[in-house]
Every structure is written in structure tokens, then in C-alpha cells.
Structure 1
Amino acid sequence: MGIKRRKFQGVLNILSFNRHFYVIGLSILALIIISWILFEWSDFLFWLIVIAFSYGLLMPLIVSAYVYDFSGYYDFNWLKKFNISDLNTSEIININAGFDETSFIIKESFPKSNLRVFDFYNAQKHTEPAIVRARNVSLVYPNTQQINTNKIPLEDKSIDVIFLLSAAHEIRSNREKVVFLKECRRICKPDGKVIMVEHLRDFSNFMAFSVGFTHFFSRSVWRNAFKTSGFSSFEETKFTLFMSIFNSKP
């Protein structure tokens, strides 16, 4: 099944899934403008607040358009540098958090390989409005299996590649991250790998998403989680200023 992304689908997703944020932000901005009209207060302060609010509302959309609509992320050409074999014997899994935009693309990129898809979404733990809305409109890859983060129902050392594409940050607890990554390491073949893509809690993403960057985790948090989980390597490749691709091996 071929999946063709619409123009500006990344921006439309951000607007749709985070509409509560934009409704609140625009409402506050409207109240500020009304109060400036009704009451006398500093023009400098007024324009400073308006610019700050406008930046906070518009910059995430601009960056999202760049990363998800114009950078080529969904072309998956960036995967070529990781030398992933497409063989009839290759076992690949893609694990998501209830919103899956990548499984059909992965299958097109590796048509010979056996792809299985798992979803660790937990309605009790993953309660943020954005992920709940995303799940409601997500495409579901055939035979996607629901799992818990503490148990992936696969044999030890049976998987060549595990994809964690903009999903693992939904695991908020550090302890749960480690347990989940230990499961990933358990099912990886000795020469297998985990390919994880994430925004980071760093300066670039702060400038892009302001306080929203706290939804992500820092490089050191991920490094410590992989190290604690027993992985032997943790290599980072930047994909734009705002996203990182991590390649880890058991």
C-alpha cells in the first residue's frame, strides 16, 4: 500500500493534534489586544508581548514544516548510511506510540524484509491530548500488535533492526525507558541495531518550540538510558538542527 503525504501534512498534524495549545494561545493574545485598546499601557510592552506570543505560536509551525514537509525525512533516504540489508531473512520491527506514519514507508523501503509493527500506547499512561488525537486518525499497519513497554513478545536475539521513530519520548518515566530498552536489546541479534529518531531537549528545539521542548529529552538522558540498558554503542547523526538519529547496537 503506497502512502502519499499531503502538502504541509506535518504542519497540519501539529495544528490538529495541538489545537488546545493554539486555542489557548490565541485567546490570551486576543485578551491582551483588547486590554491594550481599553486601557492605557506601554506600547513597548504591548508589542513585546505580541511578538513573543506570535513567535511562540508560529515558530513551531515553521520548524515542523521544515522538518516534516521539506527536509526529506519521509523519503527515508537518510537510512542508506546505516547499511540495512533488505533480504528475505531480514527481521524488522517498527514500534510506535499510537501514531504510525512510517510503517508503510518502511515496508516500501525494505520490500523483501519481514516487517512487524508494535504499538505501546497505554491509555492510562499516555494521556496527553496530542497523542490521543493523533491515535484517532493514525493509519494502522496490518496486524499491528498492542504491547506493554515491559514486554515485547519476540524471541531473544531474533530481530535485525528495531525502528523507534519519534515515539520513544512518549515513555515519560526514566525507569520505564530503561525497561523498554532492555527488551529491545534482548530481542536484537548480536549484529542488530536500534534506529531511534527524536527531537532533543536542547537549545535548537527550545528556539523552535519554546517551553514545548520539555516534551522531549536531552541527549544525556537517552545516552544514560541506552547505557543502563546494556547497549554497547550510542551513535548520533543530526538530521537538521532539530532532530537526531541514534544508532545503537547490543
Structure 2
Amino acid sequence: MSAPTIPPPQRPSGVREVIGYNWPLYAGGLSVVAGGLALAPRLPRVPATLARTGALTAAALLLGSTAACWWVYDHSELYSLDWLARLLPDGPGDHLVLSTGLDEISQPLAVRHPGSPQTVVDLYDPALTTEGSIRRARRRVPPRPGTLPGRPSRLPVATGSQDTVFAVFAAHELRRAADREALFAEITRTLRPGGTLVMAEHLRDGSNTAAFGPGAWHFMPRREWLRLADGACLHTVTETRIANLVTVFAFRWSPA
């Protein structure tokens, strides 16, 4: 479904917006830093050392995760979509864009491929997606006009109608395995034979743990995405990294 007009491109979220979406976490981290450093001079030697260590650890996590966001979202090729030509040299064709509350990929795609019909489906469900960061992001970047509501088990798209499905930072927000499995089954249903799922995600791996600390546990491990693809009869075509922190998978559906 093509939007009648394509508005001017909006700047995708960078480190400034990420801090805004997650300001309670930043406020909590800064409180730990300030509290630890303030308390340390008043404590005996061992507790003081622990307080300083905790403060420095919190500061390192804040600085490291902020630097990682700056590198990925402000300075990599992620949102320029320059990497997409390598995956889809003939363009995306009829394509479906999935989001779970924050859609920052459909507009760049529409600008880059204005002749390719696009359908956008938002899977956001406030009863399931309870994170405050998603609500704050959604207020800043509301769904584009024409976006259709959907559920993981029911995408409002005809069977075998799509050449490409895009899920960029979307699927990991489905926290229940059953919802992720239902979504992948629906993606296969919507794809034409030979169609491609393009998925970009941070992974729960060494690089992202080093960058985001405990926050990396919000991401899924690589094996989970491969499990879901295999269960939906989607076969890996390629797997690439952007800025060493985002993995882009291309899965293809080939009927048996």
C-alpha cells in the first residue's frame, strides 16, 4: 500500500533521542555515580572503595553505552540504507515494514525506493509493550499516516503478496517466544516464493554486552533468530554487521 505523498525525511533517532527515551535509566545511573562519590569520603576504607568502584562502574556504563549509541545511530550507515543495495540489488519490490511502536525505517525506504509499493504495520500493544522508553519514543515519532495495526499472529496483509519484509529493531520487543514464533510464521505467509525477510537487531553477544552492559540482556541471542527462521522455513542468505553492534540478517523463503 503506497502512501499518497512522502513527507520530507525526518532525522532518525540518534544519541540525543535515545537519552530522551531512556532518561529514567540515565537519571538513575547519574544518581548512583553522584551518591557513590559523595558517600565514599564518609565511609570506612572498604565500604568507601566499594562505593567508588560502584560509582566508576556506573559512569563507565553510561559513557560506554552513550558512545555506542552515538557510533551506531549518528555515524554508521544504518539509517542511510547504503547497506541495502548489497542485499537487494533489484530493490525491495512490494514490501512490508513491521514496527513495534517506533518506525524509523519506512520513510527512508519510501524516499529511496519511491516506485516500490509499501505497507506499514505496527504491532505495538500497550498491554504487552510496557517499557516507558517505547511510549516516550512513540510520542516523539507517531506512526505514519496509513500505518495499519496488526498482531504477531495476524498481519493485515494478503498471503503471498510481498517481495520483502523489513523488521528493523522490531521483533525483539515481542518478549514472549510464542509471539515471535507467530510473527515469523505470518511473515512466511505474506512472502512470495523467493521473498526475503530483512531483519536488523542488536544481539545479546560480547560486543553489545561490552557496549551496553546489563542492557544487552534486552536483546535476543543470535541462536534465537536462527531458531525462529528455521521454524518458519526461512533460510539464511547473508548475515552482516553494521558498526560491529547491529546484525542484519537476510532470510529467504523457498517453498519445499
Q: CA deviation at 1:23?
A: 1.2
Displacement after TM superposition at 1:155 (Å): 1.6
- Residue 38 of structure 1 aligns with an amino acid whose one-letter code is R
Q: Provide the aligned C-alpha RMSD in A.
A: 1.7
Aligned amino acid, residue 11 of structure 1: V
Show the counterpart of 2:3.
Answer: none
Please point out which of 207, 218, 223 is paired with 1:220. Answer: 223
Which sits farther off after the overlay, 74-83 or 198-207?
74-83
Could you tell me which residue of structure 2 aligns to residue 10 of structure 1? 14
- How far off its partner does 1:146 sit? 0.8
2-structure distance, mates of 1:40, 1:233:
57
Residue number in structure 1 paired with 2:207: 204
User: What is the SS of the residue equivalent to 2:167?
Assistant: strand
Partners in 2 of 1:84 and 1:179 — Cα distance? 29
Shift of residue 4 of structure 1?
Answer: 4.4
Q: Does 1:62 align with 2:67?
A: yes
Which residue identity is paired with 1:40? P
Check if 1:150 corresponds to 2:156: no
Q: Among all aligned residue pairs of Structure 1 and Structure 2, give the percentage whose two residues are the same amino acid.
A: 27
Look up the match of 1:28: 32
Is residue 2:178 matched to residue 1:175?
yes
Report how far residue 61 of structure 1 moved. Answer: 0.7
Of 89, 94, 103, which aligns to 2:106?
A: 103
Distance (Å, rounded) in 2 between the aligned partners of 1:174 and 1:15: 28
Which of 46, 49, 53 is equivalent to 1:48? 53
Q: Unaligned regions of 5+ residues in structure 2, if any?
A: 1-6
- Structure 1: state its 5+ residue gaps: none
Q: Which of 132, 139, 144 in structure 2 is aligned with 1:141?
A: 144
1:126 corresponds in structure 2 to 129
Name the residue aligned to 2:243.
240
Name the CA distance, whole Å, in 2 between partners of 1:214 and 1:62: 18
Assess, with a 3 A threshold, how the Cα gap between structure 1 residues 84 and 151 changes in structure 2: closer, same or farther. farther
Contact 1:162-1:195 within 8 A present in 2 as well: yes
**Whole-Å Cα distance in 1 between the matches of residues 239 and 87 of structure 2?**
12
Q: What is the aligned length?
A: 246
Deviation digits for residues 46-65 of structure 1 (CA, Å, limit 9, x no counterpart): 54333211111111110000
Match of 1:246, SS?
strand
Secondary structure at the aligned position of 1:204 is classed as helix
